[in-house]
Amino acid sequence: MNPRLPDIYERLLNCYGPQHWWPGDSPFEVIIGAILTQSAAWGNVEKAIGNLKSAQVLSVDALRRLPAETLARLVYPAGYYNAKARKINAFVEWLWEGYDGDLDRLFELDVAALRRELLSVYGVGEETADSIILYAGYKPVFVIDAYTRRIVSRLGLAPRVSTYSAYQDLFMQGLEPDVAMFNEYHALLVRHGKDVCRKSPRCQPCCLSAVCPFPEGLRSG
């Protein structure tokens, strides 16, 4: 149990306030957004989701029937449009075949089984799987992304091995399992990463300076 993790959370929350993640009208929309946002700016993802809504195809049934080229054209603004169309198609086909297209049935699984299942789908890696479990399934797993790794490293909390699961264990073992808090914590780390860490490759004074063991400007990366 790392006592610094709750402290960091409180400081980020006081600094930025609630982030209201994940933007989306339904769990299914959250899942499609999780695939589309892979290595993409969220603004571009919103355009792609807007296209899917306008075309009235943001459902398992409609997406299954959609020709690959049409789906690729609709998600074009999110980048990697051919690859992402293939991933979305793989997910809806998998959901249809295994769960009759019913997300409620999928989310009846416990977290470990759900994660294994999701990771078996083409295009769903660890971060995407955990985003789906947390933000669409409302189950307590901590999502690790590039910002989280960077911030954790700069704070001197990086695990010995730099794997996804090692970073995830750091948070899962350092915090009480709480869906709302995990949701907010991850969103706040992304917010902090965007607002502070991205603008300067080296650390500047920020809302986490008080809990950072390193002198200002020493850390980079």
Question: Min. distance of Cβ 90 from DNA in angstroms?
Answer: 8
Question: Min. distance of Cβ 132 from DNA in angstroms?
Answer: 9
Closer residue to DNA in complex, CB, 69/215: 69
Closest Cα partner for 101 from 25, 53, 37, 31? 31
**Cα(55)–Cα(119) distance, rounded to whole angstroms?**
29
Angle in degrees, CA 11, 14, 18, rounded to 5: 115
Can you tell me which of 92, 127, 137, 170 binds DNA, judged by CB under 7 A? Answer: 127
Is residue 123 near DNA by the rule CB under 7 A?
A: yes
Contact string 43-62 vs DNA (x = CB under 7 A): xx--x---------------
Is residue 219 near DNA by the rule CB under 7 A?
A: no
Question: Min. distance of Cβ 144 from DNA in angstroms?
Answer: 9
**Cα(71)–Cα(137) distance, rounded to whole angstroms?**
25
- Residue 117 phi, psi (nearest 5): -60, -50
Total number of residues that touch DNA (CB under 7 A): 42
Question: Min. distance of Cβ 120 from DNA in angstroms?
Answer: 9
116 Cβ partners below 8 Å, 6+ apart? none
Q: Which stretch binds DNA (CB under 7 A): 2-10, 54-62, 71-79, 213-221?
A: 71-79
Is residue 171 near DNA by the rule CB under 7 A?
A: no
Question: Min. distance of Cβ 149 from DNA in angstroms?
Answer: 9
Can you tell me which of 38, 51, 89, 168 binds DNA, judged by CB under 7 A? Answer: 38
Residues 151, 144: contact at Cβ < 8 Å?
no
Q: Which amino acid is at 134?
A: L
Question: Min. distance of Cβ 161 from DNA in angstroms?
Answer: 7
Is residue 152 near DNA by the rule CB under 7 A?
A: no
Contact string 15-34 vs DNA (x = CB under 7 A): ------xxx---------xx
Residues contributing to the site for DNA (CB under 7 A): 21-23, 33-34, 37-44, 47, 76-77, 79-84, 121-129, 131, 135, 145-147, 161, 163, 190, 193-194, 198
